[in-house]
Chains A and B, each alone.
Chain A
């Protein structure tokens, strides 16, 4: 990896909505180089030596937090994990107080996960540090979007021209939003499938160009010419909210079964942001099958987050 390839990307990564197609491609190219680091005996490069990265997680998360932690460590950064849970607001310390505390500790990059949409933006507005959004409410999860793009590009050679079907609770999903934005920026066609209760008003307006997003309520119809199928995690706790009758009917109508995957294009990719509910939104044999990219997504996630940390740590020009 040549450090001279670091590009000007702006201070913060708050969402793919703010990132150009060219920058996305550069980030993916950088991730390609970093993927190799993970295969070495000594899985470390000195790119961020002397930099401090704080993982500030206000929501419980194992996958994303460990992925960021590993990415920062492989870049030789010093990493601090702060898990505040949801109780910090109750305790009286505001997000702004937390931000000022971090500022006082001279942190270079803050990775934030928060249940409230816009929290990373709020932090970015007051902090001189770089801020990377690791998922905020139902707004965006840009590194998940990037790692999904990366996984698709590696499996299919390119993103443009593919049909990607996203199935599930789009309304409450930051993963769906970042994917929709990133995929359409790189020229894919996105088809959203869910019961109408899970499709938010005006979602198609997030597409980079008109006509690149279509919406339907029938998974079987949607799969005919699909290159990628991406079921979203069903938030089972939302069964109480009147979004769907229950997981049995959901699995029946929207579960990705082997039969359904067979109806898609030959060799279509099955993806999932995890953690999965086996037998609900995705059948176990699909999740563990040949067409599943689920574990590749995890591997690729580290490389993509390395690329993001590399470009969004700026300053010193390591």
Chain B
């Protein structure tokens, strides 16, 4: 740390800090990378570099607990630098990188590579999630102890469910022993079969094989039972069905160490999106029915689902431009994560402090956090974003910088532009030009 104090004043903004219970105009003084003072407007003492946040909101840095970074192995889909840059541009300061790379992040070596690439990018902090089993093959435990000590926040086998409940039980027990939570993507592979979308009237009309809601719910039920049996913290994400929400609500009430996350696309889209066979809406879990979306919205609002994550899964354009049956599952979601969250607020589904809490307080409760992260209380690290909630932008190829184009929101105009993102008081992103005014987004 430098002997000279590095000071930044953020003035004129509206602070939303759910952990501290603040939703009001506040000025912030940042000294040496930490929040030194939170004051009523115009009450900050002293001088120093000033960041004008007038007309903007100041939010604690978001933690995205579930993103599929494609490096090493699939750099043609997206590099770590691109993902970390998009995260910073969207107010995400900590990014969990799922282990389904090639090679799988089941060793210190791969995790270190991910960290090194992320450091070089100088954008969002990237925290590799280690694999739960070696090669994500569900047969041998990964070296979770070493992964934990190297700083992995969790272990997971990403999309690949551990088929054997006995293996899963042992993996959870072992993870508990090294203090790591386990992230599971709920799916019964046998029941999903060759399914490519939610099973319902729409899949029947389109002639596409369905994935019933029960495929997810069976897995949710099993993992709740195993969390109860082993005492290991299990974070089930993404969940998408009304049945999953019911099971989770019951388990949480009974004190089972289980939590859940979901992604903005599950809160905004239904299976009707797929009427035109748009492969950008092919994702696991699949986009569900109206009734599921309604239940999921309630669960995020009431905290049964405590975490929103991007579930970012970018693919190359040519991989998605194939028959629906052959397209890979996954939605690119980092670039739109914040804006879609703000859309949920605009549409009255969540209030702003709750929406922010699902990206800050929620992840902290589930995965723990460096002291004070997820809040901007005095003494906390100055990981934050300054966001113009009113500014709108159109999701175009150009706006996405030509990567992560597999978003179902292509062409949509969304609210919210980040002006500045700071990590430890240092700028990791600053908007080059003033945000485009509402209505001037231009045609698709």
Q: Which residues of A contact B (CB under 8 A)?
A: 17, 89, 94-96, 114-119, 121-122, 136-140, 171, 174, 177, 200-203, 205-206
Tell yes or no: B276 within 8 A of A by CB: yes
Give which listed residue, B199, B205, B209, B326, contacts A206 with CB less than 8 A: B205
Of the candidates A17, A114, A121, A171, the one having the most CB atoms from chain B within 10 angstroms of its own CB is A121
Q: A94-B322, A138-B207, A205-B205 are in contact. Are A117 and B200 (CB under 8 A)?
A: no
Is B208 a contact of A118 with CB atoms below 8 Å?
yes
- Known A-B contacts A122-B277, A201-B200, A202-B201; the reply to A116 vs B321 at CB < 8 A is no
Chain A residues near B200: list those with CB within 8 A: 201-202
Cβ contacts under 8 Å, A96 to chain B: 321-322
- In angstroms, Cα B314 to Cα A263, docked, is 58
Give every chain A residue within 8 A of B209 (Cβ-Cβ).
Answer: 138
Known: A116-B324, A201-B204, A202-B205. 11 other contacts (CB 8 A): A95-B322, A95-B323, A117-B206, A117-B207, A118-B323, A122-B323, A136-B207, A137-B207, A139-B208, A202-B202, A202-B204
Q: How far is the CB of A87 from chain B (nearest CB, A)?
A: 13
Q: Which residues of chain A come closer than 8 Å to B321, judged between CB atoms?
A: 94, 96
* CA of A140 to CA of B325, assembled, Å: 15
Question: B376 to chain A: closest CB distance in Å?
Answer: 47
Q: Is the CB of B206 within 8 A of A116?
A: no
Residues of B near A94 (CB, < 8 A) are 318, 321-322
**Closest CB of chain A to B70's CB: distance in Å?**
21
Q: When A117-B277, A118-B323, A121-B276 are in contact, do A205 and B201 touch as well, CB less than 8 Å?
A: yes
Contacts of A137 in B (CB 8 A): 207-208, 325
A-B contact pairs, 10 of them (CB 8 A): A95-B322, A95-B323, A116-B323, A118-B207, A121-B277, A137-B208, A200-B204, A202-B201, A202-B202, A206-B205
Assess whether A139 is in contact with B323, with CB atoms less than 8 Å apart: no
B204, A118: Cβ atoms under 8 Å? no
Residue of A with least CB distance to B321: A96
Which residues on the A side are within 8 Å of B199 (C-beta)?
A: 201
B323 touches A119 (CB 8 A): yes
B210 within 8 A of A: yes
**A205 to B206, alpha carbons, bound, how many Å?**
12
In the bound complex, what is the Cα–Cα distance between A116 and B210 (angstroms)? 14
Contact B322 A118 (CB under 8 A): no
Q: Mark B321-339, 1 if CB is under 8 A from A, else 0.
A: 1111110000000000000
Question: Number of contacting residues on B, CB 8 A?
Answer: 21
- A89–B201 touching, CB < 8 Å: no
Measured CB to CB, the closest approach of chain A to B258, in angstroms, equals 29
Nearest neighbor of A170 in chain B, beta-carbon distance? B204
**Are the C-beta atoms of A118 and B277 separated by less than 8 Å?**
yes
Contacts of A116 in B (CB 8 A): 323-326
User: How distant is A199 from chain B, measured CB to nearest CB, in Å?
Assistant: 10
7 closest A-B pairs by beta carbon, nearest first, are: A202-B201, A139-B207, A118-B277, A116-B323, A138-B207, A117-B207, A200-B204
Tell me the smallest distance from the CB of A206 to a CB of chain B, in Å: 6
- Least CB distance from A96 to B in Å reads 5
Chain A contacts for B205, CB-based, 8 A: 17, 177, 202, 205-206
Q: In the complex, what's the smallest C-beta–C-beta distance from A105 to chain B, in angstroms?
A: 21
By a CB distance below 8 angstroms, the chain A residues around B324 are 116-118
Given A121-B276, A201-B199, A201-B200, do A139 and B326 touch, yes or no (CB 8 Å)? no
Q: Are A117 and B204 in contact (CB under 8 A)?
A: no
Per the bound structure, the CA–CA distance linking A115 and B343 in Å amounts to 38
CA distance A39 to B322 in the complex (A): 43
Residue interface bits B206-240, CB-to-A below 8 A is 1, else 0: 11111000000000000000000000000000000
How distant is the Cα of A118 from the Cα of B321 in the complex, in angstroms? 12
Which of A116, A136, A139, A177 has its CB near the most chain B CB atoms (within 10 A)? A116
* Given A114-B323, A117-B324, A119-B323; A177-B277 close (CB under 8 Å): no
Known: A95-B322, A122-B323. A117 touches B208 (CB 8 A): yes
Q: Which residues of A contact B207 (CB under 8 A)?
A: 117-118, 136-140, 174, 177
Given contacts A117-B207, A203-B204, contact A89 B326 (CB under 8 A): yes
Residues of B within 8 A of A121 (CB): 276-277
Q: Which of B382-421 contact A (CB under 8 A)?
A: none
Q: Say which residue of A117, A171, A200, A206 sits within 8 Å of B325 (CB atoms).
A: A117
Q: Which residue of B lies closest to A58 (CB)?
A: B323
Residues of B contacting A205 in the complex (Cβ-Cβ under 8 angstroms): 201, 204-205
Which residues in A have their C-beta under 8 angstroms from that of B322?
89, 94-96
What residues on B are CB-neighbors of A174 within 8 Å? 207
- A95-B323, A117-B277 given; A139·B201 CB < 8 A: no
- Closest residue to A205 on the B side, CB-wise? B201
- Closest residue of chain A to B324 (Cβ to Cβ) is A118
Which residues on B sit within 8 Å (CB–CB) of A201?
199-201, 203-204, 210
How long is the Cα–Cα vector from A203 to B321 in the complex, in angstroms? 28
What 1/0 flags go to B288-331 for Cβ under 8 Å of A?
A: 00000000000000000000000000000010011111100000
For B206, give its contact among A114, A115, A122, A139 (CB under 8 Å). A139
A174 closest partner in B (C-beta) = B207
Chain B minimum-CB-distance residue to A136? B207
Collect the chain B residues with CB atoms within 8 Å of residue A203's CB: 204
Q: Which residues of A contact B201 (CB under 8 A)?
A: 201-202, 205
A2 to chain B, nearest CB (A): 36
Q: Please report the C-alpha to C-alpha distance between residue A206 and residue B321 in the assembled complex, in whole angstroms.
A: 28
**Nearest Cβ distance between residue B292 and chain A, in whole angstroms?**
14
Docked CA distance A89–B206 (Å): 21
B145 nearest CB across to chain A (Å): 43
How many whole Å from B163's CB to the nearest CB in chain A? 19
Q: Which residue of A lies closest to B194 (CB)?
A: A241
* Complex alpha-carbon distance, A206 and B207, angstroms: 11
CB distance from A204 to the nearest CB of B (A): 9
Nearest chain B CB to A101 CB, angstrom units: 15
What's the Cα separation between A27 and B66 when bound, in Å? 53
Interface centre among B201, B204, B209, B277 (most CB of A within 10 A): B204
Q: Which residue of B lies closest to A116 (CB)?
A: B323
Q: Closest residue to A199 on the B side, CB-wise?
A: B204
* Chain B residues whose C-beta falls within 8 Å of the C-beta of A206 in the assembled complex: 204-205
A115→B325 CA distance, assembly (Å): 9
